[in-house]
A and B are shown apart, each in its own frame.
Chain A
Amino acid sequence: MTYRKTAGAAAALLTVASLGLAGTPAAAKAPVAVAQCAASSTVKETLPNGTTWQLCWRVQDRAGLVLDDVFVSSKRYPTPVQVLDSIRLGQLNVPYDSGETEYNDLTEYGFGGSNLETLGGEDCKGGSAREGSDGGPEARRRKVLCVSAEPSGLAYRLKDYNYETGADKLYSKQGHDLVLRTISKVGWYEYVSEYRLADDGQISVRLGATGDLSPGDYVKADRGWPIGKGARDYASMHYHSAIWRVDTNIDGKGGEKVEQYDTKTDGRGSMAAKLKTSMTKIDKEGTFTKANRRWWRVVSEASKNKDSHKRSLELVTGADDRYEANPATTPDVTFTEARGCEKFATDNADPQCKTMKTILDYVKDKQTLKNPVMWVRVGFHHVPRDEDQSPMPLHWQGFDLLPRDFTDMNPLTPADRNGVNGQTDN
């Protein structure tokens, strides 16, 4: 993902607008729904730049941390707008390259209950350790969620030269994330479920792995990496295929549509290649594969920003190793129609729909998407290294949900930049 890609995406937007797909101005605002949970399971924090995130959290026995009813507002756009109905992990599939071991860590073990760690040490340094049920059979209340605000680096920077005064004007601002995390211990591995809610509206979703390497999975040289003395103990390479379940509810109106964008070369201009961006509607359940410059968004039909653009969330993926040896961990993203008993991406076990075992079963009947659920898979092929002992440094995998046209401008736009929206009329 580079500047080039960002520019391409902007071009795509113009194309859509010129096709008249942007629609009519937003209808009168419906009353804002408030998050439905007790005060103790509410997180509501305002970051230094004035952005407020509000949500409900809980821990589920198998899935671990679940965020429900996620709303965002900012100094510039003070009315809270719902972003997500819920987000959580939908599976963590861990096959070893030896072929001897494969775990579905959520459904065969569980991220909640007694496997959810009580925060201690420096787990939540500088943050607030929140108490809630661990989701286990006794629903024990413990300090399990860490809520913190963390610097995210430079949020924006712009130096402007004023001809009248002859002076530079500098806009430079540090950004912050509201960070929510829980830790689950799965045997020797420890996993961090993390959500970073940025002050510019971006949601970064990731899973971190630490703890220790498997004590038992040692193999021959071509399937492992020597991590003890000399060339004797080859720790097995293995996969962590994480799949998240994302249920959007933009502005509380639901019924989002799914769009896929592709940008292809289209001849030459006077200097460089011409690129052309096209959109494909995804209106039925299915599995999808990444390609160069391809991206997806979940777009509201009913909710628009002040520029009359439909609000949407764009899926942004980064580093990823695809585990193509298992059909259910092969798709990069899968869209399904929301259904209560389709809970996990693999190894689903609900007697109410006993034949629905993986996302591939969910999409088989190609239902029309009315309330789409997005399953995002991000894989990491872990080649152990000497430094993994011990404890293992955290390794991360995840994706971003980028607000695309949630607001008519950057939610952090300083007042002096109010008029900078679209092409300037001369």
Chain B
Amino acid sequence: MRQYRKWGWGLGIASVTAVIAFGVASWQVNAAPTPGASPGAEQPRVSDPDPGPEPTAGTGNDALTSAEVEKAREIAVTPELKEKAKDASGAAGPEFLSADIVDTDGGRRAEVYLYDYATNNLIKQVVDLGGSKLTDSYSAAGLHLPASAHEVDTALDLLLADPLASEFKDAYAKATGSQFAGKDGLKTTAHVFKAQAADPAVAQCGEHRCLRLIVEAKGRYLDLGHLIIDLSGRTVARLS
């Protein structure tokens, strides 16, 4: 990257003849100083506009506003899904993963992604925000989006309730130098995990929804890469 900038001087050589032939040039006055910049200031200014309050609805391909996300989510979770789908903790209704603007030239539409733990399907619901209706619905197994905060919490609880919690506690002690005394103060996120090679302990991950936790405690990260939490099967496995 940036090579052209670096080597740009080379271009000047070719132009010299042309310049002499024309012989019309004058001292180029330096650009007027940037408004507000003191002499010798290195960085010119950019504007710093007031963002104002959040609009109810976005324009064009703007990100969904919080009101639009809420609305899209309400429409996406149909009565049928509310009744038959299950979330990560086994409660009725699908797990809400994310909502995104659909890049189109028409009106504003949202893609809402849900995960149904009853069927292990990723569901994409397309919502016409202007018309307040569900326009398309797709679902497939074996596909995953990043984990929701609720899924991460659920996975941590599963791990702490599992016999492998001892390995979590060892990792905690090794990273922080103190005994694990509860999950308060932990900062937890997760990667979705899909089995690559034939590791029998986690072979179902992919068809199942599995997470690999990243836990920060007292400014240190725990070494937990070998522990996989299968949210669909509600089990914890150790990579061999």
Q: Is B134 an interface residue (CB 8 A)?
A: no
Q: Is B140 an interface residue (CB 8 A)?
A: yes
Minimum CB–CB distance for B58 against chain A, Å: 6
Collect the chain A residues with CB atoms within 8 Å of residue B47's CB: 44-45, 128
Q: Is A135 an interface residue (CB 8 A)?
A: yes
| Of A172-180, A221-229, A268-276, A279-287, the one with at least 4 CB within 8 A of chain B | A172-180
Q: Is A140 an interface residue (CB 8 A)?
A: yes
**CB–CB A132/B51 < 8 A:** yes
**CB–CB B30/A351 < 8 A:** no
Q: Is B60 an interface residue (CB 8 A)?
A: yes
Minimum CB–CB distance for B205 against chain A, Å: 12
Q: A37-B61, A108-B144 are in contact. Are A136 and B7 (CB under 8 A)?
A: no
**CB–CB B66/A169 < 8 A:** no
**CB–CB B140/A351 < 8 A:** yes
Interface string of B122-153 (1 = CB under 8 A from A): 11100000000000101110111110110000
**CB–CB B2/A204 < 8 A:** yes
Interface string of A294-321 (1 = CB under 8 A from B): 0000000000000000000000111100
Q: A135-B63, A349-B122 are in contact. Are A1 and B58 (CB under 8 A)?
A: no
Partner of A37, one of B7, B12, B60: B60
Q: Is A59 an interface residue (CB 8 A)?
A: yes
| Number of chain B residues close to chain A: CB under 8 A | 93
Q: Is A18 an interface residue (CB 8 A)?
A: no
Q: Is B207 an interface residue (CB 8 A)?
A: no
**CB–CB A417/B96 < 8 A:** no
Partner of A351, one of B22, B98, B103, B122: B122
Nearest neighbor of A169 in chain B, beta-carbon distance: B25
**CB–CB A204/B1 < 8 A:** yes
User: How far is A367 from B62 in the complex, measured between Cα atoms in Å?
Assistant: 30
Q: Is B165 an interface residue (CB 8 A)?
A: no
User: How far is A133 from B52 in the complex, measured between Cα atoms in Å?
Assistant: 13
**CB–CB B25/A40 < 8 A:** no
Most B CB contacts (10 A, CB to CB) among A50, A317, A417 go to: A417
Q: Is A139 an interface residue (CB 8 A)?
A: yes
Collect the chain A residues with CB atoms within 8 Å of residue B69's CB: 137-139
Q: A130-B51, A349-B145, A352-B124 are in contact. Are A49 and B4 (CB under 8 A)?
A: no
Interface string of B175-204 (1 = CB under 8 A from A): 100000000000001111110100000000
| Of A19-27, A109-117, A256-264, A381-389, the one with at least 4 CB within 8 A of chain B | A109-117
User: How far is A107 from B98 in the complex, measured between Cα atoms in Å?
Assistant: 12
Partner of A128, one of B48, B62, B122, B221: B48
**CB–CB B27/A170 < 8 A:** yes
Q: A139-B69, A171-B28, A216-B224 are in contact. Are A149 and B122 (CB under 8 A)?
A: no
Q: Is B220 an interface residue (CB 8 A)?
A: yes
Q: A36-B60, A217-B225, A352-B124 are in contact. Are A127 and B25 (CB under 8 A)?
A: no
**CB–CB A400/B23 < 8 A:** no
User: How far is A110 from B190 in the complex, measured between Cα atoms in Å?
Assistant: 10
User: How far is A32 from B46 in the complex, measured between Cα atoms in Å?
Assistant: 24
Q: Is B64 an interface residue (CB 8 A)?
A: yes
Q: A147-B46, A416-B28 are in contact. Are A399 and B1 (CB under 8 A)?
A: yes
**CB–CB A426/B145 < 8 A:** no
Collect the chain A residues with CB atoms within 8 Å of residue B32's CB: 48
Most B CB contacts (10 A, CB to CB) among A38, A56, A157 go to: A38
User: How far is A41 from B58 in the complex, measured between Cα atoms in Å?
Assistant: 9
Nearest neighbor of B125 in chain A, beta-carbon distance: A351
Minimum CB–CB distance for B152 against chain A, Å: 10
Interface string of B11-28 (1 = CB under 8 A from A): 111111111111111111
Collect the chain A residues with CB atoms within 8 Å of residue B143's CB: 349-351, 354
Collect the chain B residues with CB atoms within 8 Å of residue A139's CB: 63-66, 68-69, 99
Q: Is B214 an interface residue (CB 8 A)?
A: yes
Collect the chain A residues with CB atoms within 8 Å of residue B66's CB: 133, 138-141
**CB–CB A107/B42 < 8 A:** no
Most A CB contacts (10 A, CB to CB) among B12, B28, B59, B223 go to: B28
Collect the chain B residues with CB atoms within 8 Å of residue A35's CB: 60
**CB–CB B123/A417 < 8 A:** no
Collect the chain A residues with CB atoms within 8 Å of residue B191's CB: 103, 105, 108-109, 187
Minimum CB–CB distance for A338 against chain B, Å: 10
Partner of B26, one of A114, A169, A175: A169
Q: Is A119 an interface residue (CB 8 A)?
A: no
Per CB-CB distance, the 9 closest pairs between chain A and chain B, nearest first, are A3-B10, A36-B60, A1-B3, A216-B223, A351-B138, A349-B143, A354-B140, A351-B140, A128-B48
Interface, chain B (partner A; CB < 8 A) = 1-5, 7-28, 30-32, 34, 42-49, 51-52, 54-55, 58-66, 68-69, 96-103, 121-124, 136, 138-140, 142-146, 148-149, 175, 189-194, 196, 214, 220-225, 239
A–B pairs, 5, beta carbons within 8 Å = A10-B14, A133-B63, A141-B54, A157-B12, A215-B220
